Structure 1
Amino acid sequence: MSDTAYPVSERNKVRRLHERGTYDKAAVHAILDAAMLCHIAYVIDGQPYCTPTAFWREGEHLYWHGSSASRMLRSQKGGVPVCLTVTHLDSLVLARCGFNHSVDYRSAMCFGQARIIDDPEHKARALSSMIDRFYPGRDATLRPSTVQELKATTVIGMAIEQASGKVRAKGVGDEEEDYALPIYAARFPVTQVLGAVEPCPRMPEGVEYPAGLAGFTPGRRLDELMLESYRTTYGDSHD
């Protein structure tokens, strides 16, 4: 594996509109780090499944968690191949022909062998990292998880063996001769943003808004905030 790009094989090669594809690690990591949720695809006894879950990246490793009762997680005790994907929908694109209607997007697809993190210290450290990755510095301010709470949570780790990214950002792309047609065409930007904060009604008086949440302001784009939180927690050392 090179220092700057993921190896390309039949497994991760971008086949359709390959010019939109990238194997550059920095580009793939930027797509991953701007997200909070992913989808994980795997096969159990010949039946395909796809599970949405929160995830985070540490260097060349991806982590996610779930209930210890999950069939998927139990099946991964010995390690199973998985495909983890992330997609950001950036715009709706209306063209002058149905064939050219599209969306602008950023997506990443990662392949690897997922395994349960059994070591108690590694598991506890990973769960703490999950909190700080999304909310920088918050873990140190929380009540520690109990032994039972840690036992009820399974942590999965996966080294990224191969990955690819794919991006469309061109907006309207009609055939040259169609631009003169009197048909409405446009790009509708799509963003996921934070709403106004709703403090817990049972919070004791005098509890101040955490300094680490200063960036969590109404109207803030979630993808930009996730990237900012990642860099605040990890800096550039995990790129």
Structure 2
Amino acid sequence: MNEQPLALEDEPQIRRFVREALEEEGWRVIEAGNCRHGLIAAGTRQPDLVVLDLGLPDGDGVAFIADLRQWSRTAIIVLSARTLESEKVRALDAGADDYLTKPFGLAELLARARSARRRQQLGSSAQGNGSVVRFGSVAIDLQAHAVTRDGCGVRLAPTEYKLLAVLARNAGRVVSNPQLLREVWGQQSANSPHYLRIYMGHLRRKLEADPAQPKYLITETGVGYRLAVPV
């Protein structure tokens, strides 16, 4: 496997833990301990994944994400001791794909890393195969604006489809509530999260085997939603 993730963390013990975990997946890990070295490594080595802490000694990790997003679409997972929902939303809106709160488990880190890479690969392949996103027995054809389940067409209201399409284009990634509201309902609805709860309920009833225990249309409490896709 030729995957090259970048571990950007100023605490040597945590950086070593992340490196060893990713190496267990067969990945060759690049390391950096601050924003400056992280940006140099990202520019010269072009990593397939970035795992970073927000509290870096020479700058804010959110600013690093924003800088990186100006020229790179590589997957980004945040590891941080910051637990405020506003901090998570800020990182996600800057361009992070996922957010793990310290302390975190090895299995969850690896699952999130695989999911982030899956999303990146899915996005690349979708551009050349008609933009079809699949999960369970559901297929979403983003080019044809069509949704099927078990091979049969699913009738969605226009707003339901717009919400599902945003999640599908970001499959595997946490999409923050403000971003979903802006993209589906417009800027004026940024403070109306009840819209999301209502329409996610509609989508789960139509697309999940058990809407009460969804496997694919996942709530990230207080932060946003994720369309989970096979890893």
Which protein has the bigger helix share? 2
Question: TM-score, with normalisation over the residues of structure 2?
Answer: 0.27
Larger Rg: 1
Write 1 or 2 for the structure with the bigger share of strand: 1
Higher relative contact order (CA 8 A, sep 6+): 1
TM-score (norm 1): 0.26
